[in-house]
Structure 1
């Protein structure tokens, strides 16, 4: 018992001797912890003084009033953030890329032709005004998700399910981005939408085989149409070319025949005029010119006198194989 009293007396002595220093150290430590703040390079700090906005500080080491008089919120204004709808991406430490959770409530939508579609999309955004982000909207992240779902459902509801599944995907994403930015500006939440990306669009699982069959039939239809147009573009121009060629050949042949007939008529008229002037001479000249043109084509010839009364009844020219009387 005496030893215990001695120990307690010793502790009281140490406390009386060093207590002020310990309290001063604790005070300085609490002062440093509550007044020194470090803002990252992608952030800016919003300082509140007794709950009211005071100032916005830049990245680096900053000081605020200690003991909770001032508080600071760090806003990542230089970082691109994103919200995922219909799916969730796991962090790098997970072996699976996507989460196994059920997010069908936020991705199931009704299209304009009263069909269901499972739409997965990503909203990429930046915080451009930290004051508006903190004070204009109570929960800006939750509000942004609600506005994103509302904008996407409105855009999808104005289109048929085939447009959303196929040719209208990019237009849906673009219009959703424009509408979402208009809502952000209207609510003044300090957010700028960088991009809306449709990750995947599928029909609901129970009717997915039917949709796939319809899409396959449409693709085959487009393939047949493209093939028919290709054949048309190949055959029709060739047929038109052949028709033009035949017409041109016929026109050339007709022109040749007309020119030949015109020349023959002109030659006959000239010959007739000469015949009228001297019938005997012209007749003999025509006969001689005709024989001159024909005889070289006959080959070997034997010419005999018509009456056979001459001393030489036979006039042999070449071999006696062919006789012409």
Structure 2
């Protein structure tokens, strides 16, 4: 009898231990996949859960947002240039059953899908366009992925192309091209500066020549005006002189001629009276010089 009670007590204790071992806790923001003898039975939410030990097991799946970095890999652009890219993304599990049972590695399948779409996007554009259009590539990649990852029970919340780097050979060629472009711009600027300097120098010389010519023209004009004024004064003075004055001047002229070594002078009758105008003209001309 005592043996029976002892055996019964042992069985009760084992049952209590067995039942107690079946209680599980699913943490917050997780789901539990319950399997009975290896077959999916049900999905349980976060909290206190009971399963039958040895016959059932529970697999926990996190529903929290997960960050992921996709390591660098090479892509060929439309113009056959090789570039290296790396990605970062955030994803979360939307269907724990699909995530765990429909694929042996849902995360790796998602990564391969994203890589394939990125290769397709960059493969349709040139190198320069790819290097300068990171934000547009991000937008196109997000649209291309869309709900395709739903078959893995995953939703990509954000995907970002962190960097696009050309191969070392292309980078060296780009550096040389950039240096050549800078030297070209510097040469053009230097030539433009020299041309501008020549233009300004030539303009200054031309302006000086024009100013000199104008000054000379003004001087000639002033001299011509002065000569014209003297001639006008001479004509006015001669017009005011009387005939007797010219006769006296003619006699003086003959006297001066007679005093010279060559005292033989032959003139016409009409020219004799005009000789008196010569000294008169000289006097008027000398007076006008004195006034200047």
Alignment partners' CA distance in 1, 2:175 and 2:186: 16
Using the TM superposition, give the Cα deviation of residue 147 of structure 1 relative to its aligned residue in structure 2, in angstroms.
Answer: 3.2
Alignment partners' CA distance in 2, 1:249 and 1:212: 55
Match of 1:122 in 2: 86
CA deviations over 1:142-189 (Å, ceiling 9, x no partner): 3432333323323443345xx3xxx44533533432221111225264
Q: Which sits farther off after the overlay, 243-252 or 134-143?
A: 134-143
Max Rg structure: 2
CA deviations over 1:51-73 (Å, ceiling 9, x no partner): 67787xxxxxx415432698652
Per the alignment, do residues 17 and 228 of structure 1 end up closer, same or farther by CA in structure 2, a change over 3 Å counting?
same
Using the TM superposition, give the Cα deviation of residue 228 of structure 1 relative to its aligned residue in structure 2, in angstroms.
Answer: 1.8
Name stretches of at least 5 consecutive residues in structure 2 with no aligned partner: 35-39, 239-279
Using the TM superposition, give the Cα deviation of residue 46 of structure 1 relative to its aligned residue in structure 2, in angstroms.
Answer: 4.7
TM superposition score normalised by structure 2: 0.61
Name stretches of at least 5 consecutive residues in structure 1 with no aligned partner: 1-8, 56-61, 87-106, 291-325
Say which of 114, 138, 141 aligns to 1:177.
138
Say which of 89, 94, 97 aligns to 1:131.
94
Using the TM superposition, give the Cα deviation of residue 14 of structure 1 relative to its aligned residue in structure 2, in angstroms.
Answer: 5.2
Using the TM superposition, give the Cα deviation of residue 224 of structure 1 relative to its aligned residue in structure 2, in angstroms.
Answer: 3.8
Using the TM superposition, give the Cα deviation of residue 235 of structure 1 relative to its aligned residue in structure 2, in angstroms.
Answer: 1.5
Match of 2:62 in 1: 74
Say which of 262, 266, 290 aligns to 1:288.
290
TM superposition score normalised by structure 1: 0.55
CA deviations over 1:225-269 (Å, ceiling 9, x no partner): 234223223322222222332233233333333333333333333
Q: Aligned residue pairs: how many?
A: 233
Match of 1:17 in 2: 9
* Pairing 1:218-257 to 2, within 5 Å after superposition: 218-219=177-178, 221-257=180-216
Q: Structure 1: which 4+ aligned runs deviate by more than 6 Å?
A: 9-13, 47-55, 68-71
Match of 2:259 in 1: none
Match of 1:192 in 2: 157
Alignment partners' CA distance in 1, 2:220 and 2:44: 110
| Matched-pair contact (CA < 8 Å) for 1:151–1:179 | no
Per the alignment, do residues 18 and 213 of structure 1 end up closer, same or farther by CA in structure 2, a change over 3 Å counting?
closer
Alignment partners' CA distance in 1, 2:189 and 2:148: 54
Alignment partners' CA distance in 2, 1:260 and 1:177: 80
